[in-house]
Chains A and B, each alone.
Chain A
Amino acid sequence: MKVLLPTPLADYTAHRREVEADGRTLAELLRDLDRRYPGIRFRVIDEQDAIRPHIRIFVNRLPAPTLERALDPGDEVLVVAALSGG
């Protein structure tokens, strides 16, 4: 399915903002994304499997508060990273 990524993660995808990844849940999708682009998952998900502060993930433009969110093949996942702090 389509995954849209923010600019801070562009180094992992050769600056592609739109990539493909698969999974039945958000957790599976992020693991697949990490297989394709090693290291990218840890930048947005911490070691306790929580979405990092100031990172938001949307599925079909609706907030996905946890990684247990179920996904369908036609869904669109959007990762947003806040740019704040000066």
Chain B
Amino acid sequence: MSRLRILVGTRKGLFVLSADKRRRNWSIAGPHFLGQTVNHAVLDPRDARTLLAAVKAGHLGHTVYRSEDLGKSWKEAATPPAFAKAAEGEAGETVSHVFWLTPGPAAEKDRWYAGTSPAGLFASDDGGRNWKGVEGFNAHPDRRKWIGAPQDAPPDGNTLHSLHVDPFDANHLYIGLSAGGVFESPDRGASWKPLNRGVAADFLPDPNAPYGHDPHCLRVHPRARGVVYHQNHCGIYRLDRPHDRWIRVGKNMPKHIGDVGFPLVLHPRDPKSAWVFPMDGGTVWPRMPIDGKPAVYATRDAGESWTRQDRGLPPAHGWFTVKRQAMSADPLDPLGLYFGTTGGEVWSSFDEGESWNCLCVHLPEIYSIETALA
């Protein structure tokens, strides 16, 4: 009997919340990798059994762990993601940590992708046991320009995130670079081009710059061909392919809330429904709920309008942040939504955001939330 599982990656380990399909009788397992940072943990939807986790312990080098028994036992990758060795006399790059893990397409059961900091793209064809650089990106002559200098990077370093395989074309990849922008590849990562037309970049001198933008979270709809959304440093956007100009649907958010935030979640069955978690992007960018009043905002019409959903959330003094990977939906009906906070709380909604309950408190700072039936 499969159970609903919520994989909670935190600054100090991985926790797994689980429940029956009615979303009752919750239990918690873990911590796995106690004391180690787990940026992302993902269950392979192709076998509903294999877990991969991106792990880094203190000052030691990063790695990827694989479990074939839903986390009962783990085995470390024999060859973790690593940049190519530099030629003699040249400065080489070093992966700090794996930030994002993405299962490959259904037809390639052992294919996985990983995004790292500094921004690098890696792939595995043996289920995450051995990783190789995707040199079409890592060695691209423009990559250094795209990802910028280290001093321009976010506090945790320049990062490749939001790695998606187009569900209708396994050769077509999307990535987000923070900072750098959204990029796509039509050929499994061999070639790349920026995909940032229409996206604001208030911090760049050129408002029409082809790259240098700061996507926070990109989502590709799993069932509706060509429907892409993203939460950017400068707004919420929707893209309907084959068009290549983003529409700023965040302009339809209430003005006093704005459209700054980190995570964005899509409804897996309805391409017009999405959820965001707005944050204060004024002055010094507090990155916390506006006025300390946490709220999710939902759209049911592809971003034409947004509705506040805060029933059950703290009415005041809710001073936390929800990171870009820390909000997700389950596959059940009605849809369940989950977000994790920097204060170590996991919040859940079993009615598509209408009401919220706190599932779990006192975890370490939450970096990522993923869901699965297994």
Contact = CB atoms under 8 A, between A and B. Distances in A.
Contacts of A39: 63, 76, 78
Q: Tell me if B's interface is mostly helix, strand, loop or mixed.
A: loop
B63 A42 contact: yes
Interface of B: 57-61, 63, 76, 78, 80, 82-86, 92-95
Interface residues of A, number: 22
Contacts of B93: 48
A54 B63 contact: no
B126 to A, nearest CB: 16
Contacts of A52: 59-61
Nearest to B33: A11
A85 B61 contact: no
A19 interface: no
Given A47-B92, A48-B85, A83 B58 contact: yes
A49 interface: yes
Contacts of A46: 61, 82, 94-95
Contacts of B84: 47
A8 B60 contact: yes
A39 B60 CA distance: 11
Given A48-B94, A50-B94, A81 B59 contact: yes
19 contacts: A8-B60, A38-B78, A39-B76, A42-B61, A42-B82, A43-B60, A43-B63, A45-B61, A46-B94, A46-B95, A47-B82, A48-B85, A48-B86, A48-B93, A52-B59, A52-B60, A81-B59, A82-B58, A84-B58
Interface string A33-66: 0000011001111111110111100000000000
A78 interface: no
A81 B58 contact: yes
Contacts of B83: 47-48
A29 interface: no
A43 B57 CA distance: 9
Contacts of A81: 58-60
A49 B94 contact: no
A48 B83 CA distance: 8
Contacts of A47: 82-85, 92, 94-95
Interface string A7-21: 011000000000000
B90 to A, nearest CB: 10
Q: Which of B61, B82, B83, B93 has its CB near the most chain A CB atoms (within 10 A)?
A: B61
A43 B341 CA distance: 29
A53 B61 CA distance: 10
A55 B84 CA distance: 22
A17 to B, nearest CB: 16
B59 A55 contact: yes
A54 B96 CA distance: 13
Question: Nearest 6 pairs between A and B by C-beta?
Answer: A54-B59, A47-B82, A48-B92, A43-B60, A46-B94, A43-B61
B94 A44 contact: no
A28 B199 CA distance: 51
Contacts of A42: 61, 63, 80, 82
Contacts of B78: 38-39
